[in-house]
Structure 1
């Protein structure tokens, strides 16, 4: 067993060495000199922050967005009733204040007086009512509509079993919004800062259903406006002069390139073309860490990197086969030798950084569910394949493939998993890379065997990870279904008793990690680089770095 682990380690080291050689045309990554790059301010006379978004957004309509490749931009274009401050706390956004009824079910929000859309229209409570009901409209088919199910009548309307009039969100007047929930929800205010809860200009959207597809018709209520969108190339934002807090917005605009290749993006940052870069090549992260380079920031992230297993495809429908893949993966080697960004080997689905009912870290108090156990993995694979009437040779003859979106980081981790499964279990898994949106579409269609996935929390509660795997959930791409798991999730969502709620979530996670419809790999961190002349950037665990209040000082 030791010799096999050594073989894996040598293979992984070879992968890393090749990657380091390739990341800058055969030379070691170098530290950029802070005084040489030409800033956005020097190029245009304005303060334009330049960066890369890494993937083309599927939509910049808040109701239709479904990932960080969209939310990083949307968080600069829109603002909800609530928002996060620099410490991650929930504070009023478009709302001036709110009250909560004694039964913890009805929120009444009062909007600020001086809030406007980018076209000059006032932001009203009717805009919020319209936006939330629009996101729930079954005809819109919004993947994130389920995040509104906390509102009374929302799920019934979205599933076709109720009407829009049953949805308990109502504008009492232009400045007052009343919302009644199905059950007390401890994190509802967090949800009010999430992009699915952003308002939409009712008059604009009713007049033009395609308003979000063209910058000339795009209307937003946040710190910036959508100036231009050259698909698969560049998105430009401009400061919104109608934003109520515009005096604290120092930038005149933000330019996002759309480049999937991490090495190309790093070269542009290194050459002074970007002021901040979020997705860094792993070898570069390792180099900057070794140098103690002050431009490198290791941001906290509430998220988990994992592989989906298609639970509806033989032999991944067999729990023992899935468990074998889980226990044959050496996560510590992956984070130490491949990821290299301070990530933590995943021992469950809920990452660190979320508090339990006693104010302690949920992951620490709940404990570990999975690990690396090679002998157990071999036994489970043999038993699982036998139950399916298969041998390892039969498995290999199927030509199963691990699907991942284009990225050097994802490629290296996929190669590591491929090698571990081959060496440890004797099974052959091919690799296929596609564009991010293509990967998402294929997962939704069930057109994959194994796929790379990751989830960053939408709000600060373990439920943000656990409800992913509810039967027929919109992001349950593994196709997992367990009635007892669903029952426990329902309990956790229907009570204000925090002990009952957390006990139900712990029990649900234990079931999930026994069934392992997915292969957890590691808990995220988010390494990113910021030029020394850029100030005002901050990172909260459930979002990409906040650049809204950045400044360029040179």
Structure 2
């Protein structure tokens, strides 16, 4: 058997069928482990996941991607639908090494031309929230500053000031890079339309397989790119340090000595209030002053399970649920027997 120190041991792993875990009686807190056997089903298709759940062959759907988007509106009214704030942001990256995207006025014009409310209402399901900042709400007692909102008049003015009135003279070979997925494609088409109709800019769309997409982003072989980030831990730093000059996840070519200074100072500060104020100053540079990125919306977390059947699950911003705490509730009808 595989040596483990956790609440469960590996019983078996059947490829394309299930991974079965069994209670570890040698676990330090075994007396409080609420279940004996747990099966994890390796499902990749949302329709398969919901069918397994509805037929009683699965008790919980944890992964939001396994909830069919076309059913979200209907599912959201059911008692087994659980929605919560999630530590994830969907945003647009600008390659600031490409002219004229090296000009903050151009980046701001492109951002101000986007009607985020329309994007969220039309192409996201399940309660995604419009983002006017980068760090998700509910992150470790932190409150973000406000960034730019939809303002077509200011967008046109800034683009003209940058030398491209009505989009004249703007490069015609610029591309918006995105990876596979219906929602990503729909949003790409919508951004393309907004930039064309508001600014007179023609942008091509380039879809890439996920590994290629990440490689192209990392090598700055793009102009605009669909992007997202899921926090590793509940703290604003897991989002804001991404765009420090030497961070490998920056992937915009953007660098700011002042931004780097503020992030380093924040992480050397022990007073929570002062630390958060430093982070707010840095985030203002990121989303309002310099804009190497433009936030679109915040992800929402979704779990599907019957609260009268399953206990021990508590929605949280990291969507972390200790297996040892989850248990099957005794059905009321069975308890009366």
Q: TM-score, normalised by structure 1?
A: 0.52
After TM superposition, the structure 1 = structure 2 runs for residues 78-117 of structure 1, keeping only pairs within 5 Å, are none
Tell whether 2:28 aligns with 1:244.
Answer: yes
2:302 to 527, 535, 540: 527
5 Å-filtered alignment, 1:361-510, equals 362-363=143-144, 366=145, 368-384=146-162, 386=164, 392=168, 394-396=170-172, 398-404=173-179, 406-426=180-200, 427-435=202-210, 437-510=211-284
Answer yes or no: is 1:543 the counterpart of 2:326: no
Partners of 1:322 and 1:517 within 8 A in 2? yes
Match of 2:335 in 1: none
1:428 and 1:448, CA in 2 relative to 1: closer, same or farther beyond 3 A? closer
How far 1:287 moved relative to its partner?
Answer: 2.1
Instruction: Classify the secondary structure of the residue corresponding to 1:543.
Output: coil
Count of aligned positions: 321
C-alpha change, 1:543 and 1:527, in structure 2 (3 Å) is: closer
Deviation readout 1:16-50 (Å, 9 max, x if unpaired) = xxxxxxxxxxxxxxxxxxxxxxxxxxxxxxxxxxx
What is the Cα deviation at residue 463 of structure 1?
A: 1.9
Contact 1:282 1:409 in 2 (8 A): no
Q: Give 1:489 deviation, angstroms.
A: 0.7
The Cα shift of 1:384 comes to 3.6
Distance 1:431 1:476 in 2: 21
Aligned match of 1:328: 113
Asked if residue 288 in structure 1 is aligned to residue 72 in structure 2, the reply is: no
Query: What SS is found at the alignment partner of 1:257?
Result: coil
Structure-to-structure mapping, 1:149-164, within 5 angstroms: none
Give 1:228-243 correspondences, 5 Å limit.
Answer: 228=13, 230=15, 236-239=19-22, 241=24, 242-243=26-27
Please give the root-mean-square deviation of Cα atoms over the aligned residues, in Å.
3.0
SS of aligned partner of 1:362:
coil
Shift in Å, 1:305: 1.4
Q: Which residue does the alignment assign to 1:58?
A: none
1:314 matched to 2:99? The reply is: yes
Gaps (5+ residues) in structure 1? 1-116, 120-219
Post-superposition shift, 1:270? 4.2
TM-score normalised per structure 2: 0.82
| Aligned 8 A contact 1:301 1:543 in 2 | yes
Segment of structure 1 superposing worse, 426-435 or 542-551: 542-551
Unaligned 5+ runs, structure 2 = 332-337
Given that 1:331 and 1:521 are in contact with CA atoms closer than 8 Å, whether structure 2 keeps it comes out as: yes
Tell which has more relative contact order, 1 or 2 (C-alpha 8 A, sep 6+).
2
Q: CA deviation at 1:250?
A: 0.9
CA shift for structure 1 position 502: 2.3
1:401-446 deviation per Cα after TM superposition (whole angstroms, max 9, x unaligned): 3212x333333333333332233223323141423x4433443333
The C-alpha deviation readout for 1:84-104, integer Å capped at 9, x for no partner, is xxxxxxxxxxxxxxxxxxxxx
The answer on whether the counterparts of 1:470 and 1:486 sit within 8 Å (CA) in structure 2 is yes
Render the CA deviation track for 1:211-248: whole Å, top value 9, x for unaligned. Answer: xxxxxxxxx54334564384xx5662523524323341
Change (3 A) 1:528 1:543: closer
Cα distance change, pair 378–302 in 1 and its aligned pair in 2 (3 A): same
